[in-house]
Amino acid sequence: MKKQFKISLLVFVTVIFFIIFYYSLGANNKNNPNVMLNKMLPTIELTSFTNSNLKQVLPIINKDKYYLINIWSSWCVPCREEHPILMKLKDKIKIYGINYKDKKTNAASFLSKLGNPFYFTGSDNDGSVSIELGAYGIPETYVVSSKGLIVFKHVGPLNKKIYLKISEIIK
Amino acid sequence: MRNIFLVTLFVFFISAQLAMGSERDINIYKNIRCLVCQGQSLNDSNSDFAVDLKKVIKKKIINKESDQEIYTYLTVRYGDWILLDPPLKKNTLLLWALPLLFALIGGAFIYMKALISHPKK
């Protein structure tokens, strides 16, 4: 009886440990985009990367049903990969670009070569604007509602699956 | 002579203030996880993310924000995972309670064993 109890206890503890480790292994703690979901977009002021007198404050309330924010740079290879998707999205939604730690000339040449999907592009020379948004790196994309809520966030380059997801959200 | 003494005292005071400031920065950096590195604190990392975040924290310290305000700013954006010393909350209860629970179970086990091998007369 005593031996049976010990074995049952051992099995119970092992199962509990297995469950905890199983879920912990699957968890993405490194860059969890859900942290900012359904939260108000922090207020940021973007300064145009072509004209420092042009400013744009986000979030914009009650103007467009949804708008998109994309953090990018000309030196970032995944940003180049996702660019055709942004070009496809620009006809469906206003895109505000945040040009992360980039040289003006390189960013301008990137856009003139691959097309400009952005309604407005602001500079983030020291990375502080991206941190204000809770970004981990580039590229990163946010879909914001007219109330200023972040309804979708994607860490990494956009792909066909994410394009369809965003299209579904904003339709 | 008196003026030299006062100037020296002033210089010492300013350096002490600066040293205290940098010690506070380092203590905060040590308690923040570098989210793009493997198991490093912000203090140990020189990644782009860490360098940017250090600058943001430094600005907040200069703006006289408290440690708690800085931690709240970061957890709102990156979750509790960014803190190397996670706070006691509903979802971290297991993390805090398990070691205590194991200590209690282990203690009880040792006590029972001792009681069996040396029964009270």
For residue B50, the chain A residue with the least C-alpha distance is A136
A42-90: per-residue pLDDT in tens?
999 999 988 889 999 999 888 889 999 999 999 999 999 999 999 999 9
Instruction: Show residues of chain A in contact with B35, CB under 8 Å.
Output: 30-31, 136
Q: What is the DSSP letter of A37?
A: T
**Residue A16 domain flag:** no
For the stretch B16-66, pLDDT in tens is: 555 445 788 899 999 999 988 878 999 999 988 899 999 999 999 999 999
Contact (CB<8Å) A32/B77: no
Number of domains in chain A: 1
In contact, A116 and A48? CB cutoff 8 Å: no
What residues in chain B have their Cβ under 8 A from chain A's Cβ atoms? Answer: 35-36, 48-49, 51-53, 55-56, 59, 76-79, 81, 94
The span from the CA of A36 to the CA of A141, in Å, is: 12
pLDDT recorded at residue A96? 96
Query: Model-level pTM?
Result: 0.76
CA distance to A78, B50, B79, per residue, from B83 (Å): 29, 14, 8
pLDDT tens figures, A126-165:
999 999 999 988 999 999 999 999 999 999 999 999 999 9
Q: Positive or negative, the Cα torsion across B26, B27, B29, B35?
A: positive
Note whether ipTM > 0.95 here: no
Q: Which CATH architecture group holds B2-87?
A: Orthogonal Bundle (1.10)
Element holding A167 (H helix, E strand): helix A160-170
Distances from the Cα of B121 to the Cαs of A116, A121, A144, B111, in angstroms?
89, 84, 75, 16
End-to-end CA distance of chain B: give it in Å, rounded: 82
CA–CA dist A122, B63 (Å, integer):
25
Question: What are the structural domain ranges in chain B?
Answer: 2-87, 88-121
Is A48 part of a structural domain of the chain?
A: yes
Cα dihedral B35, B38, B39, B40 in deg (nearest 10): -70
The domain in which residue A86 lies consists of 33-170
Q: Is residue A14 part of a domain?
A: no
Chain A interface residues facing chain B, Cβ-Cβ under 8 Å?
Answer: 20, 29-32, 35-36, 39, 42, 101, 126-128, 130-134, 136-137
